[in-house]
Chains A and B, each alone.
Chain A
Amino acid sequence: MFGDPVVRREDPRLLAGQGRFLDDLGRNALAAAFVRSPHAHARILDIDVADALDVDGLVAVYTWEDLPGRVGEPLPLLIPHPALTHGRTAYPLARDVVRHVGEPVAMVVARDRYLAEDAAERVRVEYGTLPAVVGLENAAAAEHLVHDDVPGNVGAVLRQETGDVDAAIAAAPHVLEFRLDIERSASTPLEGRGVYARWDADDGSLRVYSSTQTSTSVRAAVATKLELPPGKVEVIAPDVGGGFGVKIVHPWPEEILVPWAARLLDREIKWTEDRREHFVASAHERAQIQYVRVGFDDAGRVLGLDVRILHDHGAYTPYGIIIPIVTSTQLLGPYKIGAYRAEVTSLYTNTLIVTPYRGAGRPQGVFCMERTMDRIARHLGRDRTEVRAVNFIRPDEFPYDQGLTFQDGRPLIYDSGDYPGLLAKIKELIGWDGFAAARAADPSRRLGIGLACYVEGTGVGPYEGGHVEIDPTGRVHVSTGLTSQGQGHQTAFAQIAAAELGVPLQDVHVVTGDTRRFGYAVGTFASRAAVMSGNAIALACRRVRAKALRVAGEALEADPADLEITDGVVHVRGDRSARLPLRTVAVLSNPLRYSFDAESAVATQFAVGGSPDEPPVPPGEEPGLEGRDYYSPVRSTFAAGMHAAIVETDPDTAEVRVLRYAVVHDCGRLINPRIVEGQIHGGVAQGIAGALYERMAYDASGQLVNASFMDFLMPYATEIPHIETDHQETPSPLNPLGVKGAGEAGVIPVSAVIAAAVEDAEGIEVNAMPLSPDDLFHLRRRAAGRCHPEPPG
């Protein structure tokens, strides 16, 4: 069952429309809507709400001046870092200055969302516009500042270095220098954000539902901001329609303001983000400019790699510099680089904040490294796979210390891997060696092949926990604090529990992201759920199993060491005659004074045996068949993979068609190959999106001009090719299950793969992503211009 391609148990409910998403809750709640800045950079001169007050059904309008105490303070800087010398966060409602289009300025509460929007439209805000800083080069030039007190618009300068790069490059037989560009994109989950809060005035407690990737951290933030004891705040993530990173950011302004207003008004309030808000008021990712200098030898071995990166983090830095850290470390991929230096300058712009989106800086790093490998190969006239192979870390070199510091603050040490094995598999799967001959046989078509490799640090700490309880009906209740937003946790975690406990899968019920069930957790991000909660649940199951065997051993008068559990029944190994179902063990584990049914009667004081000189609950034991445990890793575990694609470009329309897309993936032991493949498919789809379709089109004044699915080209299923997958399983030595994360993997190398394949088809350098037909048309023109100074008209 562990390792089987079990069909996702959550799907029948979700596919039949029986999911309970944020907006399905709170049908009687008041609705909130926000007045948001139409300007990228402006001073707020005056806010006049008089007109809004005329709207029938209006309940309240709030601006920053209404926010008391900690509610009115800037939002927390979630992940401080010594390199983030000038971290800045926004106020929940803008105080004096707005710094991006979409920044909340006022909150309206009304009887329903229609009326709330009517009222919001009538709030008059007078702005004095300021010059907007848009684009990395403008931010770096710093002619204007996003924050008056941040010189040069520089939030952070992060350096990662190993060895003497300048000397290594100076001594290298070959040196190349070039620039790469990656555009902005965004998580764009199907369901946007949303918050629904209920204040219980009698109990002095607050219940908050949020479409979040971290309910425990939202609870901590809300309790702190609203100055409530954490025990009086419950946060529940209901069914969540995708997150992809954007919902790990917290607390969003709305996550503070909606509960605050619910308490103040003593009314239920709900806010459901709409799509237009999501484009301008949540978060984006990706945008970087990379300046690369690489020195290498005749075999293609990299002797020195020097990368300067400009990173656009938008108007504020609530999530710190995680993306620059991940880019600069994961850039190294499966390679041993002689000497390495990355310097990331993280810059403010008057655009939406930039926080992790699936891949979280890795797609940019991999784009840099893999484009570098392709250039080295072309420079030397060598096969692209050969150049990669000479740089690989060998299987006998693990654990391999890259000499840098990873996003968990721990050394970047790869735990295990087999990169030559992956390369052999991907070459086989895509038919790398036969491609040149096949292309030569069909000269009428423009075909190209590309490949890219990546290593992904997954399962970052600090910890996750699991709680497992077997009730007197034999049902197994598993809970963990991290959240689910489509990963199939109901299935994968149940598989782990069923395998550990020896119970049927259908007896296991999983709850995630509900602080009422499990209060200590970090969240779902960084491909960590299976590694962190999976192992915590396994460890908790082992505690429960040990206890079940102790209790059953007592009843069966057998040594617990001789017992095992099969199909939910405890029995002596090799002998099924002496047996006790777990439901009975659960009853016996809880000595009772009062019976409530025939089953429980056996646990009452005149029914149980046992020594009259021992307490009914022995020292060190607790009543009930339950267990709790935590998994806290020393450091991250490193998954890896390689993708390859064959593309065809249209000589007339400059359209790029992906004919084949192949993935070989190693995330250690597979809990459920079907779920892993689903994760890969979704990731590759988002990767194709970033490679060929998606960008955030800001104009010079900081307006996002494509803030809708009509103009932001998230691809449909029709644009995504069939994806061929193969697995390799290199277990992690770091955790009991030997698993590594798989959530982000699919997206990471796709831009690098597509760029390589288009370059191969066209014979034109591809240095920027995404690549639209219009871009390719112009690349061709420029290339033709270089060949023919006087192009025919």
Chain B
Amino acid sequence: MKPPPFGYHAPRTVGEALDALARGADGPDGGGTKVLAGGQSLIPLLNMRLAAPAALVDINGVTELDGLEATAEGVRVGALARHSRVERSAAAARVQPLLRRALRHVAHPVIRNRGTVVGSLVHADPAAELPAVLALLGGAVELASARGRRTVRARDFFRGPLEPALEPGELAVAAFFPARPPGTGVAFAEFARRHGDYALAGVAALAAVDGRGEVTAARAAFLGVAGVPVVLDLTGPATTGRVAAAVRDRLDPEADLHASADYRRHLAGVLAERAVTEATTEAREDR
């Protein structure tokens, strides 16, 4: 479990990073480049020789990517912000409490100390927590390349399992998670075989209530049930108390090593019921 040979670039600025990526994108050997941030997914892939990029662009020295800003609009997370920093940020938790709630389910503390939020989004693992959070909240990823910058909304960003909407030469520089508006509540629930494992299924939920506490909107984003996060509008079922059944009708998960399709569908319903209920409770308390 040692990686094959690879080139290594350690840029100090975004410009240098983009140059290195551009060179890799046009490189002669076709191996391409990979961005190294926290390395919590990339390094094991290299060691198992499941990935063999021609070069790594290590952005850990690009200090301008180290931002974490919480404003009334939302939380903007720079490409070098580690999970643990976002998890511990009181300002981020005030603006969008779902971030901290979801991050606590991301692997283990030592991995969160190293892994990055943006890295997790770009890796686009269908069982990961953060893509579902971004999808639920309607957030976006900011991309830069030698050609310029663009912002891709969550629903366009996750194209397939491990397949983000990044073009060759593009670097994800930040992600934006919209704030929780007043009168809404958010919740996160997942079920993993072992503490810190990728979940068999998970759900991020959001609910809004009116002045009387009646549900006016309910939405859930699921992880682990399809190749990309699945967002369902559950407003109707939430008002009639049929969330689990509605979810089971609308999801069509696949079986894998750890769970059959039936069980995963069942579990998604259980978790959605729990998360929507919790989000609704929070929304009512926030009226």
CB nearest to B248 among chain A residues: A793
Determine whether B266 belongs to the interface, using a CB cutoff of 8 Å to chain A. Answer: yes
CB nearest to A655 among chain B residues: B191
**Cα distance A777–B49 when bound, in Å?**
37
**Cα distance A718–B270 when bound, in Å?**
23
Interface membership of chain B positions 18-59, coded 1 if the CB is closer than 8 angstroms to chain A and 0 otherwise: 000000000000000000000000000000110000000000
Q: What 9 pairs across the A-B complex have the smallest Cβ distances? A: A718-B195, A274-B1, A652-B270, A114-B2, A774-B263, A777-B263, A774-B259, A117-B2, A713-B193
A720 to chain B, nearest CB (A): 11
Question: What number of residue pairs across chains A and B have CB atoms under 8 A from each other?
Answer: 64
Interface membership of chain A positions 541-580, coded 1 if the CB is closer than 8 angstroms to chain B and 0 otherwise: 0000000000000000000000000000000000000000
A-facing residues in B162-218 (Cβ within 8 Å): 191, 193-198, 200
B56 to chain A, nearest CB (A): 15
A712 to chain B, nearest CB (A): 10
Determine whether A338 belongs to the interface, using a CB cutoff of 8 Å to chain B. Answer: no
Please report A residues at the B interface, Cβ cutoff 8 Å: 113-114, 117-118, 121, 274-276, 652-655, 693, 697, 705-706, 708, 710-711, 713, 715-716, 718-719, 772-774, 777-778, 781
CB nearest to A719 among chain B residues: B194
B8 to chain A, nearest CB (A): 14
A440 to chain B, nearest CB (A): 27
Asked if residues A718 and B257 are in contact (CB atoms below 8 Å), the reply is no
**Cα distance A114–B4 when bound, in Å?**
7
**Which residue of A118, A693, A706, A778 contacts B260 across the interface (Cβ within 8 Å)?**
A778
**Cα distance A652–B196 when bound, in Å?**
20
Asked if residues A774 and B4 are in contact (CB atoms below 8 Å), the reply is no
| Contact count band on B | 20 to 34
**Cα distance A268–B49 when bound, in Å?**
27
**Cα distance A275–B270 when bound, in Å?**
36
**Which residue of B3, B5, B267 contacts A653 across the interface (Cβ within 8 Å)?**
B267
**A residues near B267, Cβ cutoff 8 Å:** 653
Asked if residues A118 and B257 are in contact (CB atoms below 8 Å), the reply is no
CB nearest to A705 among chain B residues: B257
Please report B residues at the A interface, Cβ cutoff 8 Å: 1-5, 48-49, 191, 193-198, 200, 257-260, 262-263, 266-267, 270
Asked if residues B257 and A693 are in contact (CB atoms below 8 Å), the reply is no
Given A121-B4, A697-B257, A706-B257, also A653-B193 (CB < 8 A) = no
Q: A654-B263, A774-B263 are in contact. List 6 more A-B contacts (CB 8 A).
A: A117-B2, A276-B48, A710-B198, A716-B195, A773-B200, A773-B263
**A residues near B196, Cβ cutoff 8 Å:** 716, 718
Asked if residues B4 and A118 are in contact (CB atoms below 8 Å), the reply is yes
CB nearest to B269 among chain A residues: A652
CB nearest to A715 among chain B residues: B194
CB nearest to B270 among chain A residues: A652
Given A276-B48, A652-B270, A705-B257, also A113-B194 (CB < 8 A) = no
A sample of 24 cross-chain residue pairs with beta-carbon separation below 8 angstroms, ordered by A number, consists of A113-B2, A114-B2, A114-B5, A117-B4, A121-B4, A653-B267, A693-B194, A697-B257, A705-B257, A708-B48, A710-B198, A711-B258, A716-B194, A716-B195, A716-B196, A718-B194, A719-B194, A772-B193, A773-B191, A773-B263, A774-B260, A778-B262, A778-B263, A781-B262
**A residues near B191, Cβ cutoff 8 Å:** 653, 655, 773
Asked if residues B5 and A711 are in contact (CB atoms below 8 Å), the reply is no
The listed residue with most A CB atoms (<10 A of its CB), out of B2, B195, B200, B267, is: B2
**A residues near B270, Cβ cutoff 8 Å:** 652-653
Asked if residues A121 and B49 are in contact (CB atoms below 8 Å), the reply is yes
A751 to chain B, nearest CB (A): 17
The listed residue with most A CB atoms (<10 A of its CB), out of B262, B263, B266, B270, is: B263
Asked if residues B266 and A777 are in contact (CB atoms below 8 Å), the reply is yes
CB nearest to B274 among chain A residues: A652
CB nearest to B244 among chain A residues: A652
Asked if residues A275 and B1 are in contact (CB atoms below 8 Å), the reply is yes
**A residues near B1, Cβ cutoff 8 Å:** 117, 274-276
CB nearest to A274 among chain B residues: B1
**Cα distance A588–B102 when bound, in Å?**
73
**Which residue of B5, B197, B258 contacts A774 across the interface (Cβ within 8 Å)?**
B258
**Cα distance A655–B189 when bound, in Å?**
15
Asked if residues B3 and A114 are in contact (CB atoms below 8 Å), the reply is yes
**A residues near B258, Cβ cutoff 8 Å:** 711, 713, 772, 774
**Cα distance A778–B194 when bound, in Å?**
20
**B residues near A121, Cβ cutoff 8 Å:** 4, 49
**Which residue of A708, A719, A778 contacts B195 across the interface (Cβ within 8 Å)?**
A719
**Cα distance A121–B5 when bound, in Å?**
12
B208 to chain A, nearest CB (A): 25
A67 to chain B, nearest CB (A): 26
